[in-house]
């Protein structure tokens, strides 16, 4: 497997940590060896090594380094100014966000699928960055949706984020700002002047619908049918592996509770404690990109 090298810039958003202990690696190897159908639940911590910051990591996450907070669903839907600010910042940040590449952890997971002799039955990700798809994993559930799709909140017509980017560019040829900063969902900091002049289109199909990224915003709920589909996949598995998530939010933590109810063997790889720790057989306190490539099938 051709593993990408991690640059210092890409590791900027990884919290301080110690190297993985050989004993911990051995326990994880044994866990994987004994798994026949593995349910993998990933969070932002698997993507920080690709250069995408997360919200909650100690010292380096958005909440630790900025007073900025993600837009709430209710605010986005009710405020034209909030939508203007969101899309202006996302427009400038999109080129960088959409070009981020999967790291060694994503690639290792793709190699763990049955076609490669591995136990991975499905991957359920809380991330919206499409990095598992780019790594060529197959059976993926995007719990919180995808930043790569935009949907009309009135007629439900969906378009690709790339095509919507072209539409934004046509309406805003005056916007030439660039930013080296990147936030968890791809937006950046912009001047108020750039934001106030930004034009946001309504749906081209129905002519009046609000266009929103196909993402579960804070304050919104994961669609019920999506949750039920993931629970059906979980019931087919004999083990669960959490990667790069503190499971602070219930949307992902619910599957730990369900896994415990089903009697699944469960473990995790994450820098720092997680909400799931009481339910796990063990947790490897290390960086996903350091650990997963060292597991053999």
Our answer to whether residue 279 is catalytic in this structure is no
DSSP string, 151-190: EETTT--EEEHHHHHHHHHHH-TT-----S---TTS----
Q: How does DSSP classify residue 218?
A: B
Q: Which residue has tokens 């994961």?
A: 222
How far apart CA 134 and CA 100 sit, in angstroms, is: 10
155 annotated among ligand-binding-site residues: yes
From residue 283, give the alpha-carbon distance in Å to each of 13, 140, 210, 230, 272: 21, 23, 43, 23, 9
The span from the CA of 238 to the CA of 264, in Å, is 5
Q: Is 20 annotated as a binding residue?
A: no
The residues with which 212 forms a beta bridge, in sequence order, are 151
Which is the catalytic residue, given 132, 144, 162, 176? 144
Alpha-helix runs per DSSP H in 14-151 = 22-33, 62-65, 73-78, 80-98, 104-111, 131-134
What tokens appear for 169 in the block? 């560019």
Counting every residue, how long is the chain?
A: 297
Residue positions annotated with a catalytic role: 144
Mark the binding-site residues for Zn(2+), compressed into ranges: 152, 155, 203, 206
Mark the binding-site residues, compressed into ranges: 152, 155, 203, 206
């Amino acid at each position: 497997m051709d593993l990408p090298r991690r640059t210092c810039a890409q590791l900027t958003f990884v919290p301080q940590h110690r190297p993985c202990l050989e004993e911990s690696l051995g326990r994880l190897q044994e866990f994987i060896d004994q798994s026949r159908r593995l349910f993998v639940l990933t969070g932002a911590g698997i993507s920080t090594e690709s250069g995408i910051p997360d919200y909650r990591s100690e010292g380096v996450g958005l909440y630790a380094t900025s007073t900025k907070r993600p837009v709430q669903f209710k605010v986005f839907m009710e405020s034209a100014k909030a939508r203007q600010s969101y899309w202006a910042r996302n427009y400038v940040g999109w080129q960088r966000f959409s070009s981020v590449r999967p790291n060694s952890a994503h690639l290792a997971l793709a190699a763990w699928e049955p076609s490669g002799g591995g136990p991975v039955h499905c991957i359920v990700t809380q991330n919206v960055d499409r990095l598992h798809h780019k790594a060529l994993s197959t059976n993926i559930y995007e719990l919180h949706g995808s930043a790569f799709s935009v949907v009309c909140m009135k007629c439900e017509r969906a378009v690709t984020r790339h095509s919507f980017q072209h539409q934004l560019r046509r309406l805003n040829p005056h916007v030439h700002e660039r930013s080296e900063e990147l936030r968890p969902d791809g937006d950046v900091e912009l001047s108020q002047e750039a934001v106030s002049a930004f034009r946001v289109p309504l749906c081209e199909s129905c002519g009046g619908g609000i266009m929103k990224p196909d993402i579960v915003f804070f304050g919104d709920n994961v669609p019920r049918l999506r949750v039920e589909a993931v629970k059906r996949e979980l019931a087919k598995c004999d083990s669960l592996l959490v990667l790069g998530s503190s499971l602070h939010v219930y949307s992902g933590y619910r599957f730990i509770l369900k896994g415990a109810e089903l009697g699944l063997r469960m473990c995790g790889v994450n820098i720092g404690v997680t909400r799931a720790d009481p339910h796990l057989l063990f947790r490897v306190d290390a960086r996903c990109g350091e650990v997963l490539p060292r597991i053999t099938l």
